[in-house]
Amino acid sequence: MVDLWSGLVQAFWLVVTFNSELVEIALRSLRVSFTALLVASLIAMPLAAILAVKRFRWRRVVIAVLNALMGLPPVVVGLVVYVLLSRSGPLGVLGLLFTPTAMVIAQVIIIVPLIASIAHQSLRDLWQEYHDLLISMNVTQMQKVTTLLWDARRALLTAALAGFGRAIGEVGAIMIVGGNIDHATRVLTTAIALETGKGDFALALALGFVLIALAISVSLAIHWLSRTEREGSW
Amino acid sequence: MIRKLSVALCALAIGTAAQAADVMKMAVTTSFHNSGLAEVLLPEILTDLDLEVQLLVVGTGQALKLGEAGDVDAILVHSRAAEEAFVEQGFGTHRREIMYNDFVFIGPEADPAGVKAAESAVDSLQKIATAEANFVSRGDDSGTHKMELSLWSKAGLDAGTFGDWYNAVGAGMGAALNTAAGLDAYILSDRASWLNFGNKADLGLLYSGDPVLFNQYAFLPVNPEKHGHVRNDLAMKLEDWLTSDKAKGLIDGYTIGGETLFVFNAEPM
Amino acid sequence: MSALFPVVLDSAETARRGQVLAGPVNLTLDGQGICVVLGPNGAGKTSLLRLMHGAARLTAGSIRWSCPTPQARRAQAFVFQRPVMLRRTVLENLAYPLRIRGVRRREAMQRAADWAGRVGLGGMLDRQAPVLSGGEQQKLALARALIAEPALLFLDEPCASLDGRAMREIEEILLAARAAGTSLILSTHDMGQARRLADEVVFMLHGKVHEAGPAHDFFNQTATPEARAFLHGDIVE
């Protein structure tokens, strides 16, 4: 209990004094996770829409696999990305191991199935609603996809936020592929793991509280921004 | 709104931090990093050499692995036999001793096994084994773990045959100390990690000083003949600096709570 | 304009999971004015409309338009019994068919605003379509169907659950569309609406066309006893 309290106090002081190291680490966390979110959304959302709209032979298999991959253990993802990006691995020439890019790659792999699965659920429902109309209007497959993505954008925002939450709170994979290098690849979660390792629970907890606060503020900010757009009811 | 948001996200995604002229990666052991010495040395290296040394903090086993794969430019570890094999197999160009610190026995202040009265490191272990007192082992193939295993065999004991009191946690020094604090167990730690450890609970330093507990750190540049991209030039610059008089002053002068941690012992080439 | 017509259905049939929904249907339509498809519930009116539009699969027989089928389909629009509202504003709903045809945004928006005015939705351009009342939604669906100037418009029970005023407004829009040269095929089981609008009548029973001909003839001298019973308001089985 003492640790919890001193963690809270320390978190408070870290934030109000605008601790430069904390700011750096927090910004890197945000940058890595937002980049991963951006890339993952660009992959997952069109994929989800295509799965909702197109009927092809392996569709059910793909959906089942995506759902299963939501539970992908990050450590395994990290290890696979590590082996691929290592200098002695197939993609070693790129020299990406232990860079923020490697962390982004790992996070993308982790959150694409999550975003695609959640997005697919809502897009499938919307497609049922729109099916007759869009078929009647002779729209192309591409137009179906863009129409669904645009009209389901609020639900997709939820999917994206879920992905962001998973990305920014993830530690197993990015510890392995990022290496937790100070001033290069250290982010909030890996810093927490490091401080826990040093037995400095108060600082670890403080960083944890900052992480939680950050995740909540991002979520609130995005919801608020999208609310102000229109008074819609969904 | 969505467009504005996307633009903001893109901007955030692309922005990058400023960097030093030269950047190299070095794998170091957790025990070295936990000592806090890196935080003294790295800024000096940055100003003197305009070289940013990025540290990968891992166990000795993984550090050697990173060197073998060419994922780092140099390693700084403390496990002599493994280091010599590393150079012999051609993964490293050579091995340069830099400094040493020592290992210490940590355990519950109540000291049920009587380690405080031990005459040597081997004697400490024999006392613990006889009492079957809780013991935490790193169990992660690190330098500290290897040291512990060699001490057990010097004591004529086989760690593989121990009962429930012997806990191999397979974790770094800090995590292992956390476990020991939770179990009120004995553990072998490097002095630096112990002094910097925040969660001491009921544990205390029970035994130290036996010369077999000295822990030699060596610097090994990765062989550029194996991995063409490795920055051997930077590794050599760093080695020159680490063995310089300036480094000697910083290393010998580094203390925690008034205690000296490292002894500089690099031989001039 | 009506390069679509005449359309010839030859033993056309649509089935789903082995159950015949409509057909076999033999029918020739020349697309003059409003053709009303009449019949009791379950007679296959909706299925016939969907079949002709291509929204239901043709499982047997043939449907031949006077132009290639893909071209014919592009010249058609369909208004469903329960209007499907895109989750967008009224204006964006109206502009949608133009936008997917590649009309520039500015022009599409202008034409959409113009059509909103014509169907009495001019005051609610920025309202979200799904929160409109039933009558407003049906008017919006109708305007959205007409905005791309189809040669042929299908309407499936367009006034099924509307009050009198909404029904009157919708019928006015339909008559205006007919005056503008659009062919309409409309299903209903409302006899009054059929009498007010029909130029031609197709009477369906048990999935087949039971009787077809000019509206005047149908209402005044029906040939079959079932159609006569239906006109009298009797239950037809």
Instruction: Classify domain B19-100+215-264 by CATH number.
Output: 3.40.190.10
Rounded to a whole number, what is the distance in Å from the CA of A73 to chain B's nearest CA? 19
Do the Cβ atoms of B175 and A31 come within 8 Å? no
Partner residues linked to B186 by β-bridges: B135
Residue of C132, C126, C155, C152 whose CA lies nearest to C142: C155
Do the Cβ atoms of A200 and B199 come within 8 Å? yes
Compare all CA atoms of chain A with the CA of C87 and give the residue at the minimum distance.
A151
Cis peptide before C24 (omega within 30 of 0): yes
CA distance A189 to C197: 71
| A48, A52, A57, A60 alpha-carbon torsion, rounded to 10° | 70
Q: Which domain holds residue A34?
A: 2-229
Kindly tell me if the per-residue pLDDT of A127 is higher than 60. yes
User: Does residue C123 form part of some domain?
Assistant: no
Chain C residue numbers with beta carbons less than 8 Å from the beta carbon of A232 are 87, 128
Chain B residue numbers with beta carbons less than 8 Å from the beta carbon of A86 are 69-71
The answer, for A197 touching chain B at a CB cutoff of 8 Å, is yes
Q: What are phi and psi of C214, to 5 degrees?
A: -60, 145
Helices A201-229, A188-197: inter-axial angle, 10-degree rounding: 160
Mean pLDDT, to the nearest integer, of C43-68? 88
The answer, for A228 touching chain B at a CB cutoff of 8 Å, is yes
User: Does residue C225 form part of some domain?
Assistant: yes
Rounded to a whole number, what is the distance in Å from the CA of A138 to chain C's nearest CA? 7
The answer, for A221 touching chain B at a CB cutoff of 8 Å, is no
pLDDT at B18: 44
User: Does residue C102 form part of some domain?
Assistant: no
The answer, for C210 touching chain A at a CB cutoff of 8 Å, is no
Do the Cβ atoms of B1 and A225 come within 8 Å? yes
CA distance B263 to B249: 10
Q: Helix, strand, or coil here: C223?
A: coil
Total number of domains in chain C: 1
Decide: residue B22, CB within 10 A, 0-12 exposed, 13-18 middle, 19+ buried: middle
The answer, for C124 touching chain A at a CB cutoff of 8 Å, is no
How many other CB atoms are found less than 10 A from the CB of residue C48?
30
Which chains lie within 8 Å of chain C at 3 or more CB pairs, if any? A
pLDDT at A233: 45
Supply the DSSP string of B114-136, one letter for each residue. -GGG-SSHHHHHHHHHHHT--EE
Find the CB nearest A139 among C80, C100, C128: C100
User: Does residue A64 form part of some domain?
Assistant: yes
Q: Which domain holds residue C53?
A: 7-84+152-231
Do the Cβ atoms of C77 and A232 come within 8 Å? no
Extract the tokens encoding A104.
């982004």
Q: Report pLDDT digits (tens) over C153-206.
A: 999 988 877 888 888 888 988 999 999 889 999 998 888 888 888 899 898 888
User: Does residue A132 form part of some domain?
Assistant: yes
pLDDT at B3: 54
**Residues 6+ away with beta carbon under 8 Å from B199:** A199, A200, A201, B177, B178, B181
CA distance C227 to C210: 8
Compare all CA atoms of chain C with the CA of A152 and give the residue at the minimum distance.
C87
Mean pLDDT, to the nearest integer, of A60-73? 90
**Residues 6+ away with beta carbon under 8 Å from C176:** C118
User: Does residue C136 form part of some domain?
Assistant: no
User: Does residue C47 form part of some domain?
Assistant: yes
CA distance A45 to A43: 6
Residue from C76, C84, C87 whose CB has the most chain A CBs within 10 Å, to mutate: C87
Find the CB nearest C55 among A136, A152, A234: A136
Domain range list for chain B: 19-100+215-264, 103-213
User: Does residue A234 form part of some domain?
Assistant: no
Mean pLDDT, to the nearest integer, of B83-103? 92
Which CATH number is A21's domain given?
1.10.3720.10
**CATH architecture for segment(s) B103-213:** 3-Layer(aba) Sandwich (3.40)
Alpha helices in chain C (DSSP H): 45-53, 69-74, 90-100, 105-118, 134-146, 164-179, 191-197, 215-220, 225-231
Q: Report pLDDT digits (tens) over B209-241.
A: 888 999 899 999 999 998 888 899 999 999 999
Residue of B64, B75, B93, B65 whose CA lies nearest to B28: B75
Mean pLDDT, to the nearest integer, of B251-262? 87
User: Does residue C138 form part of some domain?
Assistant: no
User: Does residue C163 form part of some domain?
Assistant: yes
Do the Cβ atoms of A199 and B174 come within 8 Å? yes
User: Does residue C194 form part of some domain?
Assistant: yes
pLDDT grade for B4, boundaries at 50, 70 and 90: low
Which CATH number is C51's domain given?
3.40.50.300
Supply the DSSP string of B45-73, one letter for each residue. HHHHH-EEEEEEEE-HHHHHHHHHHT-SS
Q: With touching defined as 3+ CB pairs under 8 A, do chains C and B touch?
A: no
Looking at A102-106, B131-135, B168-172, C170-174, which range is the least confident one? B168-172
Total number of domains in chain A: 1
End-to-end CA distance of chain C: 39
